[in-house]
Structure 1
Amino acid sequence: MQVVTGEEMREMDRHAMDDLGMKEELLMENAGRQAAHALEKKSAPAAGMKTAVLIGKGNNGGDGFVLARVLQEKGWNVDTLLLSDADAFQGAALYHKDLYERCGFTWEYWSEKKSERIRKEYTLIVDAMLGTGVKGELRQPFKEAADVLKKAEGTVAAVDIPSGVPSGEDPVPETAVQADVTITLQCPKISAYLQPASRFYGEVEAVDIGLPGKALRKEREKKQLWTGQDAAGTLERRSGDAHKGDHGRGLLIGGSAAMPGAIQMASKACLYSGAGLLTAAFPSSAAAVPAGAPPEVMMLPLQEENGYFSREVQTDDLSADAYDAVAAGPGMGRGKGAEVLVKQLVEQAEGTLLLDADALYFLPEHIEALQQRRQPVVLTPHPGEMARLAGVSVGEVTQRRFSLSRETAVRYNCCIVLKGPHTLVTMPDGTQTINTTGNEALARGGTGDILTGMILGMILKAQEIQPAVSNAVYLHGLAADLAVQHEFDSYAMASTDIISYLPPAFRSIISSL
């Protein structure tokens, strides 16, 4: 499913109307009717149930008139409240206001007296006030209405987007509507996957308003949700006569005397994600690595210095060109040896290269070498690491996840996996996928190491990097979801518990093939 900004959605609408000849009144009818149907499924009217529809003068208000008409035609008790002057309606919104009136339905203006009743008397309050075209703090009477909705006892449902919430990466004003559910039209908006904007949406459901496929393909910057259907459609099919070499030879570099667990977790996750053969390279004094790693992993102890990789270590010691993919970073620290290794891997490693954790620290000095690499590179930063890669603050990373990831992926010529809620995968050509799995259980040390191992396992023999990486991210989150759903509380669990749920996560996808 495509994800867009408000401007991109308006461009699709314009293309459908101006170039393809679709009537705006028809699009608005479809939008309001589909939103009404979605609300009808969620809240079948009970005895005494009252619904209020709050309407502004723009297209969002036109959608609201359609929705109010459809619900009343189905017997709902609906009060329609205008927050704009009736004479201010234009175009398709005016058409549907007039149609609403000609069908025998009435409306009244928003008033202070009415606002007091909305707090307690209405089971459902529909926000169809402003839509995607508004920026900055809300003005009266919309500001007052938003404040009333925050205190309302009933369910607040927004049409397309909560009023005041930006559709893109702009800051969220304090006066924005807080919805319990948002019925978004045709395509979700990117702010639904940004913090703090996503908190204002509540549950998000997208409805098809009938835009032609040709109009949907007008989006210039491709962004899509990555779902179970996408994972099932792209997960590698394995042949019954395959041997271990067919499933890829991987090299995982990391660990230290202080942090042996990182490479242990990454190794196990890699094996559980399809690797045929895996070698773990670590400082020789990190004795806990071979002790805790799965027995299937081949061990490659290397020269060390104070528990970390020695600066004398060379990629020749690794025979890195013998592997289909190499991952480096988990638990390796930021010593001189790690810096030397990362530089040599960027410049010399054959096959796909995956860099995570401390390995990312050294990359800003090697952008030119990354740009010249012909084989794919995958970087997996959390927001703090992304801030260093992009040369910005952590706050800017949080605010500009989409645009900053795209700029950085293009600049570094890499696939960027920006971790966090709705982990974002961005390719060097700017295409992006938004993950739809995961929960707060992933907010603990070690889960990033597990993801590194999973990505390594899934890119070893992948013909295309993007689906392999997106599937690893999806299954990583799905394993956490299954762990919380079936056995653990997100408080009382360890990162390693997630690994034990990788088999059922894969099974759930494979069973749908």
Structure 2
Amino acid sequence: MQYLVNSQEMKQYDKNTIEYYKIPSAVLMERAALAVSDEIKKQFKDPSQTNTILSICGCGNNGGDGLAVARLLYLAGYRVEVLLPMGTEKMTAETRAQYETIRQYQIPEITELPESSSYAVIIDALFGIGLSREIGGNLYKLVEKLNQIPAYRIAVDIASGISADTGAIQGITFDADTTVTFGFAKYGQLFYPGAEYTGRLIVADIGIDTYSFLAQKPFGFYLKPEDIHAMLPERHAYSNKGSYGKVLIVAGSKDMAGAAYFSAKAAYYSGCGLVRILTAKENRQILLTKLPEAIITTYDADTDDMTECIAQLDDCMNWADSVLIGPGLGTSPNAKILVAKVLSYAGKKIVFDADALNILSKNLTLLKESKADKIITPHLGEMSRLTGRPVTQIQQNLSETAAAFAIEYQTICVLKDARTVICAPDKTIYLNTTGNHGMATGGSGDVLAGLTAGFFAKSENAMQTAALSCYLHGAAGDAAALQKGMYSMTASDILEMLPVVIQAADGGIVKDEKIQ
């Protein structure tokens, strides 16, 4: 479990380190510069064979980091130039000290970017995490030119122009190949569009660590491969199918068996012991054929009298350890009865997806009054219906939207987007980093919902269940993309990669090269 912070939290932790632990700002700056210069040295090992390195430095402490990087590389034998597009008058005390040092070393300083620029590396140290305005004017033109130069581009702490809190682009952004950030990853480096311009993210230890939290821990987290093994449900040699949980899938309307199939098989792949599908009678034969491992219970979806169906549902609910309702269910009056009935079970572990969410959007009182242990898994359109807010507004405020809904309705909210955000009523936030755009295909959400219900059967921690499921679902999508490509992969491909990534996680060898 890795911490994720916003700009205000990071500034506070920096302050705590300096004022409480008495580590001088200059020491932190030197360690930051060492982390960046070491990364450049890894990429360009021979100074004599490396073209000039350009460090673009602003007036804040981020600029001071960039000046210190320039000095370290210069002393290591690299050809270095420094550009100060904002001048020197408004430099912070720490940055001015670094500037006086590079002047003493007579490191070349240029006053403007040459028309014909040829550099091996461009170091972006213009702005740090505190940028709160759009980049405009001459600085906009400068960043635009820098992005056109065929060089290795590395950002110091955060690429200039990315909001550290949201990932929004403030006018323009430096297009980094690599970003070396300090202490902890920032929200804006993982949220899109900021993630696209962050490049490879390296989180460097410079002395600002968990001690620096004092009494102010962050609410944000993301997972890395080494976290996954410990989160998987335990399995024991002396066990049976009843040992690993029973999952009920209430899914599939008349002649619409696909969503039920994807959900149920994904639940089985989680390692649960038994899966039971409650579905329309027309789906019975195809589900028995496609998934003979499942227990199939059917009902008449067209009936005017749901008495018998409700009795079946009672039996199924009492049997199950966890429940998923919604995939392919439809929004008929009978489907609405099923959703309302499921919500009435206090203490049950329930995942609401797809049509169940569309039904709930018309009567959110049902969700608010429910005493179940709830996880909801909306995509942006479903979240728009649940909140009444436009999709574009939700996209710009993913974590805020999900967090507010989770608190108001006392549910785990898994808000699905290119970066899925998972929020709990206690304000904890997980940001999922696995997955790719090839997963934007029909049935992908059914796979995630089923996987979540499967893990939920043996877990008492709904938040951890949701985070684990999203990570492995995205990892399966990444594995599928390697085999099929992002254009051609389907939900079936994602589904069949689940055993591969879960087996890898069980051995502690899940691969995720996106964050180092």
- TM-score clears 0.5: yes
Cα distance change of structure 1 residues 343 and 213 upon mapping to structure 2, 3 Å threshold = same
Which of 239, 243, 248 is the aligned partner of 2:245?
Answer: 248
- Preserved contact between residue 80 and residue 108 of structure 2 (Cα < 8 Å): no
Give the structure 2 partner of residue 74 of structure 1.
76
**1:86 Cα offset (Å):** 2.0
Give the structure 2 partner of residue 488 of structure 1.
484
TM-score, length of structure 2 as denominator length: 0.92
The answer to whether 1:295 aligns with 2:266 is no
The answer to whether 1:326 aligns with 2:323 is yes
**1:170 Cα offset (Å):** 7.1
- In 2, distance between residues paired with 1:221 and 1:310? 52
- Preserved contact between residue 135 and residue 172 of structure 2 (Cα < 8 Å): yes
The answer to whether 1:117 aligns with 2:120 is no
- Preserved contact between residue 4 and residue 190 of structure 1 (Cα < 8 Å): yes
- In 2, distance between residues paired with 1:208 and 1:153? 30
- Preserved contact between residue 267 and residue 293 of structure 1 (Cα < 8 Å): no
Deviation per residue, 1:248-282 (Å, 9 max, x gap): 11110010234211101111111111111111000
Q: Which residue type is aligned with residue 29 of structure 1?
A: E
Aligned counterparts, 1:23-62, within 5 A = 23-45=24-46, 47-62=49-64
- Preserved contact between residue 83 and residue 111 of structure 2 (Cα < 8 Å): yes
**1:45 Cα offset (Å):** 4.2
Deviation per residue, 1:62-101 (Å, 9 max, x gap): 1101111111121111111111222322222122222333
Secondary structure in 2 matching 1:169: coil
- In 1, distance between residues paired with 2:461 and 2:7? 31
Give the structure 2 partner of residue 7 of structure 1.
8
Give the structure 2 partner of residue 148 of structure 1.
145
- In 2, distance between residues paired with 1:328 and 1:75? 64
- In 2, distance between residues paired with 1:293 and 1:280? 13
- In 2, distance between residues paired with 1:315 and 1:218? 50
Secondary structure in 2 matching 1:85: coil
Cα distance change of structure 1 residues 289 and 64 upon mapping to structure 2, 3 Å threshold = same
- In 1, distance between residues paired with 2:95 and 2:10? 17
**1:174 Cα offset (Å):** 3.3
Q: Which residue type is aligned with residue 250 of structure 1?
A: V
Q: Percent identity?
A: 27
- Preserved contact between residue 303 and residue 310 of structure 1 (Cα < 8 Å): no
Q: After superposing the two structures, state which structure 1 stretch, 258-267 or 323-332, moved more.
A: 258-267
- In 2, distance between residues paired with 1:478 and 1:217? 34
Q: Which residue type is aligned with residue 497 of structure 1?
A: D
RMSD across aligned positions (CA): 2.1
Q: After superposing the two structures, state which structure 1 stretch, 218-227 or 272-281, moved more.
A: 218-227
**1:292 Cα offset (Å):** 4.3
Secondary structure in 2 matching 1:237: coil
- In 2, distance between residues paired with 1:340 and 1:218? 47
Deviation per residue, 1:379-425 (Å, 9 max, x gap): 00111111222221111111111111111111110011111223222
Cα distance change of structure 1 residues 236 and 170 upon mapping to structure 2, 3 Å threshold = closer
- In 1, distance between residues paired with 2:5 and 2:377? 24
Cα distance change of structure 1 residues 216 and 79 upon mapping to structure 2, 3 Å threshold = same
Give the structure 2 partner of residue 181 of structure 1.
178
Cα distance change of structure 1 residues 289 and 116 upon mapping to structure 2, 3 Å threshold = same
Structure 2 stretches of 5 or more lacking a match? 510-516
- Preserved contact between residue 261 and residue 289 of structure 1 (Cα < 8 Å): no
Cα distance change of structure 1 residues 511 and 212 upon mapping to structure 2, 3 Å threshold = closer
The answer to whether 1:416 aligns with 2:445 is no
Give the structure 2 partner of residue 370 of structure 1.
367
- In 1, distance between residues paired with 2:67 and 2:31? 12
Structure 1 stretches of 5 or more lacking a match? none
The answer to whether 1:396 aligns with 2:393 is yes
Q: Which residue type is aligned with residue 136 of structure 2?
A: R
Q: Alignment length, in residue pairs? A: 505
Give the structure 1 partner of residue 493 of structure 2.
497
**1:287 Cα offset (Å):** 4.4
Give the structure 1 partner of residue 109 of structure 2.
108
Which of 224, 234, 239 is the aligned partner of 2:236?
Answer: 239
The answer to whether 1:439 aligns with 2:436 is yes
- In 2, distance between residues paired with 1:413 and 1:194? 25
TM-score, length of structure 1 as denominator length: 0.93
Secondary structure in 2 matching 1:433: strand
- In 1, distance between residues paired with 2:155 and 2:13? 21
